[in-house]
Structures are given as structure tokens and as C-alpha cells.
Amino acid sequence: MKIPSRLISLVVLAASLGPATKAQEWTRFRGPNGTGISESKGVPVTWSEQDFVWRVPIAGDSHAQPVIWGDRIFLTTAIEDGKARALLCLSKADGRELWRQTYALAGHRPGSKNSAHANASPVVDAERVVALFVSRDHFWVRAFDHAGKEQWSRDLGRFLSQHGHGASPIIHDGKVIVTNDQDGESFVIALDLRSGEPAWTSPRRAVKGGAAYGTPILHQRADGTLELLLTSQGHGISGLDPRTGKLLWESPVFDKRMVASPLVAGEVVIGSCGSGGGGNYLSAVKLGGTGDVSSTHVAYTLRRATHYVPTPLYREGRVYVINDAGIASALEAATGKEIWSERLRAEFFASPVMIEGRIYVPSTKGEMIVLGTGDTFSLLARNPIGEGTHSTPCVDGGRLYVKTFTHLVCIGKK
């Protein structure tokens, strides 16, 4: 029996990501390899506030997404008016706090009312949880065991940007990979997960005002090797060798900062750039190039109703975009052709997630909007989450977890 090549690719990629990602579902920003797609079953389509499994207050200022391992939830927040940062560990059963680690860190003033002092999500595996604590003068990477004991820390130096820090770390092949695209000296670094020692550092092209906030993803190339896909203004969409940090290719086609993370959509990878003042646009780059591919591999560029902060979703040949201003669109991934587009009458800074083929996206006003997928627009529900949020949902074991402005809410199976 001939096994489809796509199935082989998925199996190889899953194996390369290690047992950590297979044992738990939502261990990093946007879940499995940053796709935003959950394998959970039983998350409800409709609910009321009385249906919440639990809702607990979270002190401080945070737009981070929680991550989960076993019976524990990990979440970063900024407390004491931004003068200290904390990693919280909560019980998945009832939301009660199990421990916290707090560090004094001089605050920075976010350049936007929509930003916070704690935007990046932690990353977790079977032994370690890694969190970033970043200010203008320090970029701390800290690793802890699941009981809260610090295992190591490393200061990457200053972080200069208009809106603070936001890119989340990932774990791959025994290393934690941290992106540091900023206004100042920029680089991507891989640190040994057990010791914190550098494995490699890849210099990046810094652009004034062009700090990048997206979180990288892994992709298997045609030759079976993996590449690390990133977005930034300096390199556009680019691919690095995750073993060495070597730049494999780049497509420097953006003239504004990058907030959304990259998305693989069939044979292309999608990125976007923008600003609070507009001028946002999306570019899709064909995979498989080498060197500067900006003149050979750009499949299409879209400037209408595209996203700036939320990262899209991909399923069955379609890209689903929820933009900041509340326009939901379905695009043909290969060509960028619009399939449908509708206004949701809401504003979004969280990225959508997909569960059982349905799109869940929380708004800044406190609704979880649920959409169907396919060739026609389908609004399935508008559900309460207690208050607004800028945080992407986390999915695990038939439950949806949402960090709102002041609480963490659990929705789903009781």
C-alpha cells in the first residue's frame, strides 16, 4: 500500500517536535506548532456565564495566552503597576493559584493603550516551563520546573521598541528558541533547555520602528529537513535552519512592523504587516526557495480588509482571516481570492482558534464569536466571556480557557 506523501510529512514533523507536544495539546502560543487548531472534542458552541466551569481573578496587566501541562496552567502577568513580572501556576481543576515566581523589573511605557507589560506566552514541556520577562533594559529568559523552582536564567540585554515586547518562545529538539527582532541589536537565539547555554545565535536585520511580535513555527521542506519560519520587517518572511540558525531564505517585502505570526497554508506561507494608522497588507510566499526570494516566490499580496494583530487560520485550502476592525474573511489559500467577507460588529486583538471545524474568536468587548467554516459565511453564536480580552484562547481536554482583562475563564466540560 502506498502511503500519501503528505501523511508521511505530518508523521515526520510530529516526531521531530518530540514527545512533549504529543503528550499535551496547548503547550505554546496558538497551540500545536502555532496552527491555532485544536484536536479537542466537546467544547460547546453556545453558553451563558452560568455555564462557566470556573472564573478566577488574575492580578496585574497581561495579554498573554495561558499554556497547559497535565493538571497545571501557566500564565505570565505584570504586577505592581508594571514594576514586577510574575509567572503564575494555576490548578486546571478550579483555577486556584498553586505558586508564583515574581521578579522586580523596571517598567516601560507601552506605546499603545492596547499593549501590556506581559504580552508573551510561556512555553512548557514535560520538565520545564520557560517564560520571558522583558523591559527596556533587560530581556530575561527564565526556566522553571513544574514545582516553580527556577532552573536557570539568561539576560539577552536591552529591548527597544515602541510597543514593548510580545513574541513568545517555542521549544524544539531540546532547545528553547527565542526571537529578538527589535529596534536595537536583533537576533534569534536557541538555548539549551536543561542548562540555558546558547546553542546558536542568528543575527537579524534591525529596522527602526520595526520590532516584530510574531512567534515562529516549524515547517518540513521537500527534502525532509525542517525550517523555522519567522516574520519581521527586516527580513519579511524568512526561513532558518533550526539546527544551526543559518538563514535559508528570506522575502523582505514588508515596509511596516509585524505583529501576527506566520501561517503555513498549503504551498505558501502567509505573513502581514501594518500599523495602528493603517496601511496593512498580507503577502503569501511560495515555500521551497533559497536566498532572497522576494522577486521569484511572492504568490500574491492583498491590501483589503487584511489582518494586523490576529493571526489567521488555515483549513482545507482556505485561509480564515479575522482582522482587527472585525471583518471576517475566507480566502482561497493558493490565490488569495476572496470566498466570503462579513462584518462581525466587534474589534479583535486576540487570534482565533479552531475546534471541530469551528472558529472561536474573543472580542475586546467580551464576546466569544463562533463561526462555521466552508464556502459560505455562518455565524453560529455570540457568547459571553465576562469582559473583554486581547488574549488568544487556550484549548485543552474539551475546555476553552480565556485570559480576559482581569480574570481567567474556563468554559466547557464540567
The more confidently predicted of residues 10 and 209 is 209
Residues 6 or more apart whose Cβ sits within 8 Å of residue 400: 43, 355, 360, 368, 393, 394, 410, 411, 412
Assess whether pLDDT exceeds 80 at residue 192.
yes
* Cα atoms in the 13 Å half-sphere on the side-chain side of 194: 2
What's the pLDDT at 346? Answer: 96
In the chain, % of residues over pLDDT 90: 83
Residues 6 or more apart whose Cβ sits within 8 Å of residue 304: none
Instruction: With residue 271 as reference, give the H or E element that holds it.
Output: strand 268-273
Q: How does residue 81 score in pLDDT terms, banded at 50, 70 and 90? A: confident
Assess whether pLDDT exceeds 50 at residue 7.
no
Assess whether pLDDT exceeds 70 at residue 79.
yes
Q: Say how far apart CA 297 and CA 334 lie, in whole Å.
A: 12
> For 27-67, what is each residue's pLDDT tens digit?
999 999 999 999 999 999 999 999 999 999 999 999 999 99
Name the grid cell of 406.
482581569
Assess whether pLDDT exceeds 90 at residue 13.
no
Assess whether pLDDT exceeds 80 at residue 402.
yes
Residues 6 or more apart whose Cβ sits within 8 Å of residue 220: 9, 12, 13, 16, 226, 227
What's the pLDDT at 252? Answer: 96
- Contact yes or no for 140/147 (Cβ under 8 A): no
What's the pLDDT at 247? Answer: 98
> For 345-356, what is each residue's pLDDT tens digit?
999 999 999 999
Q: Say how far apart CA 78 and CA 163 lie, in whole Å.
A: 15
Residue type present at position 18: G
3-state DSSP call for residue 181? Answer: coil
Assess whether pLDDT exceeds 90 at residue 149.
yes
Environment class of 145 (CB within 10 Å of its CB; exposed 0-12, middle 13-18, buried 19+): exposed
Mean pLDDT of the chain: 92
Among candidates 165, 157, 152, which has minimal Cα distance to 117?
A: 165
3-state DSSP call for residue 216? Answer: coil
What's the pLDDT at 21? Answer: 43
> For 173-186, what is each residue's pLDDT tens digit?
999 999 999 999 99
What's the pLDDT at 11? Answer: 44
What's the pLDDT at 111? Answer: 53
In what order do the strands lie in the sheet containing 399-403? 54-57, 407-412, 399-403, 394-396
What's the pLDDT at 15? Answer: 43
> For 240-294, what is each residue's pLDDT tens digit?
999 999 999 999 999 999 999 999 999 999 999 998 778 899 999 999 999 999 9
pTM score, two decimals?
Answer: 0.93
CA 42 to each of CA 39, 327, 340: distance values in angstroms, whole numbers, following the listed order: 10, 27, 27
Q: Say how far apart CA 161 and CA 159 lie, in whole Å.
A: 7
Task: Report, as an integer, the average pLDDT of 96-100.
Answer: 98
Q: 140 forms bridges with which residues in the sheet?
A: 133, 155
- Contact yes or no for 46/381 (Cβ under 8 A): yes
What's the pLDDT at 275? Answer: 84
Task: Report, as an integer, the average pLDDT of 138-152.
Answer: 98
Q: How does residue 339 score in pLDDT terms, banded at 50, 70 and 90? A: very high
- Contact yes or no for 352/31 (Cβ under 8 A): no
Task: Report, as an integer, the average pLDDT of 223-245.
Answer: 97
What's the pLDDT at 9? Answer: 42
What's the pLDDT at 16? Answer: 44
Q: Say how far apart CA 348 and CA 228 lie, in whole Å.
A: 27
In CATH, 5-42+58-342 is 2.40.50.140: no
Q: Say how far apart CA 150 and CA 8 lie, in whole Å.
A: 39
Residue type present at position 165: H
What's the pLDDT at 145? Answer: 98
What's the pLDDT at 106? Answer: 75
Among candidates 356, 360, 358, 349, which has minimal Cα distance to 401?
A: 360
Assess whether pLDDT exceeds 90 at residue 326.
yes
Among candidates 357, 264, 256, which has minimal Cα distance to 309?
A: 256
Task: Report, as an integer, the average pLDDT of 219-243.
Answer: 96
Provide the H-helix boundaries in 161-287.
Answer: none
DSSP string, 301-320: EE-SS--SSS--EEETTEEE
